[in-house]
Each structure stands twice: as structure tokens, then as C-alpha cells.
């Protein structure tokens, strides 16, 4: 089988800001997280759906978005690790989906707004012809040389014995110094519309097709390193309470 591979970049990012007034439920922050194409390019040609798996204290923590924008917004007080599953229109199980972990960190209540963006390079090994065409149409690039294919693909299909699969690599992780919050009022027809939050968390799915979580200008560092110290400095709220004191349950001092 050919060792041809196609690589394409996507961006995962989030914005967070401190509320002017803490809510009666104790929420101090509002945030949005999104998955989009590099430079806001459309990914719908090759992406079937995006699944955000929120902390278990959220009502309906598994949020399935089948149309852009692939973005959700919430209110709460603590950050957490957010698994994200991306399903592709690949035509075969070996390259149907991938899963990554995203650190949804929040700033101190005295901190500046956050606008964080992470770029993931997704390499599809031996994609089917139709899927290959979709990837190239969306901005993907062909990798044919042995030097460009540096390790074996991984697949979520347990019986995979072919050379097909997916490899993920983080190429940059950037905090933009001037962060704008992703506000929107339009609504789309994704599965999680009209969710009412539980566990003390307010749900507001923002669906403005023109909004972006990754915007601004800053120097980008390769290898997943933050472009400045803001991530570390602002992530004490992101040293996330878990379990019974997760983002949807107020800590004892606020009960």
C-alpha cells in the first residue's frame, strides 16, 4: 500500500474572562472553546462532527456539534482538562476519528482576559482517494517522502493491521496578549442546543459562524510551549478542582 500521507492543520482555542459581578451561584468566569481550521478556514468538508467532553459535573457533559461553528460557551469558576473528539468524513474506520486533551485553564479573578490558541497538525496515512481530495481541498498537503513520515500511524480501530491511521502533533501553543472574548447571539442546529446546565453551571452555546477563539498577533513557539508566561501565571484557577468539587460544584468556602 502506498505510504502517501496528507497533513492538515486545525486550531483548538479558548477565551476566558472574569465576570464583572460574581453570579449568585458563585460563577466568576465565562469561557468559550472552539475547534476551527487554520486561519479560520472551513473544516466542514473533512470534519463530520466535534465532541466536547466536559467535566462530569456539567449536565449533559458530552456536547456533540455537527455543524459549524464547533464552539461552546459556559460560566463557572474552575478550569479542567477537556477531551475533544473529532470525527472525519474519511470513509474508513482507521481514519474516522481522533481524540486529544485540551487544558481549559482560567485566570485569577484579577487577571487579564485569556485568548489561547493551539495548532494541531493531523497527518492521515494512506487516506482513501475521496477523503484525500477533501483534505487537499481544505488546505492539506501531501507528504510522500520517507523523511516526511517519521513514525507509524496510530488508529482507534482495534483490528487495524493496515498502514492507515492518524498521527497528531502540536506545532504551537500561543497566548495572545490582547484577548477578546467570543460573544455571539446566533444559534445553530447542533445536538446540544437548549441544554440547561446542571451541577451549578450555566450553559450558553455560542454559535456565531464568524466568531473565532484564535485571533490576535503574537510570536508562536513550536513544540507546545506557551509564547509567554501568562499561561503559567494565570492557571491557578486552572489547577482544576475535580470530582465532587469540580467546576459545577462550589468549593466549601462559597457554599
For the chain, the domains span 5-246
Which residue carries 474572562 as its cell? 17
Count of other CB atoms within 10 angstroms of residue 252: 7
Phi, psi of 254 (to 5 degrees): -110, 0
Phi, psi of 114 (to 5 degrees): -105, 140
Instruction: Using CB atoms within 10 Å of the CB of residue 230, give its burial: 0 to 12 exposed, 13 to 18 middle, 19+ buried.
Output: buried
Pick the CATH number of 5-246 from 3.30.1540.10, 3.40.50.300, 2.60.40.1970, 2.40.50.840: 2.60.40.1970
Phi, psi of 119 (to 5 degrees): -105, 125
Which residue carries 464547533 as its cell? 70
Taking the C-alpha atoms of residue 225 and residue 107, their distance in angstroms, rounded to an integer, is: 18
pLDDT of residue 162: 58
200-to-26, 247, 249 alpha-carbon distances in Å: 9, 8, 6
Q: Which residues of the chain have pLDDT under 70?
A: 1-3, 145-162, 177-255
pTM (2 d.p.)? 0.71
C-alpha cell at 107: 485566570
Best CA proximity match to 52, nearest among 30, 37, 28, 74 = 74
pLDDT of residue 253: 36
Taking the C-alpha atoms of residue 131 and residue 200, their distance in angstroms, rounded to an integer, is: 42
pLDDT of residue 220: 32
pLDDT of residue 189: 42
Strands (E), the chain: 5-18, 29-37, 47-53, 62-65, 70-76, 80-88, 97-104, 114-125, 141-143, 165-175, 202-203
Amino acid at each position: 500500500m502506498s505510504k502517501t500521507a496528507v497533513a492538515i492543520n486545525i486550531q483548538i482555542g479558548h477565551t476566558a474572562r472574569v465576570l464583572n459581578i460574581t453570579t449568585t451561584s458563585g460563577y466568576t468566569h465565562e469561557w468559550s472553546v472552539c475547534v476551527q481550521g487554520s486561519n479560520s478556514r472551513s473544516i466542514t468538508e473533512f470534519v463530520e462532527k466535534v465532541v466536547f467532553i466536559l467535566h462530569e459535573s456539567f449536565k449533559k457533559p458530552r456536547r456533540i456539534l455537527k455543524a459549524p461553528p464547533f464552539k461552546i460557551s459556559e460560566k463557572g469558576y474552575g478550569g479542567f482538562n477537556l477531551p475533544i473528539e473529532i470525527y472525519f468524513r474519511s470513509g474508513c474506520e482507521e481514519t474516522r476519528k481522533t481524540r486529544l486533551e485540551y487544558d481549559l485553564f482560567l485566570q485569577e479573578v484579577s487577571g487579564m482576559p485569556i485568548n489561547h490558541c493551539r495548532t494541531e497538525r493531523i497527518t492521515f496515512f494512506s487516506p482513501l482517494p475521496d477523503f484525500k481530495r477533501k483534505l487537499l481541498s481544505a488546505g492539506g498537503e501531501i507528504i510522500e517522502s520517507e523523511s516526511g513520515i517519521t513514525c507509524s500511524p496510530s488508529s482507534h480501530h482495534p483490528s487495524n493491521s493496515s498502514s492507515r491511521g492518524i498521527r497528531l502533533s502540536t506545532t504551537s501553543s500561543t497566548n495572545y496578549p490582547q484577548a477578546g472574548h467570543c460573544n455571539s447571539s446566533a444559534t445553530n442546529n447542533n445536538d446540544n442546543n437548549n441544554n440547561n446546565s446542571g451541577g451549578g453551571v450555566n450553559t450558553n452555546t455560542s454559535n456565531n459562524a464568524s466568531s473565532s477563539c484564535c485571533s490576535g498577533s503574537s510570536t508562536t513557539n513550536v513544540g507546545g510551549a506557551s509564547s509567554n508566561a501568562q499561561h503559567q501565571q494565570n492557571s491557578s484557577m486552572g489547577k482544576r478542582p475535580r470530582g465532587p468539587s469540580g467546576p459545577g460544584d462550589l468549593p466549601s468556602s462559597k457554599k
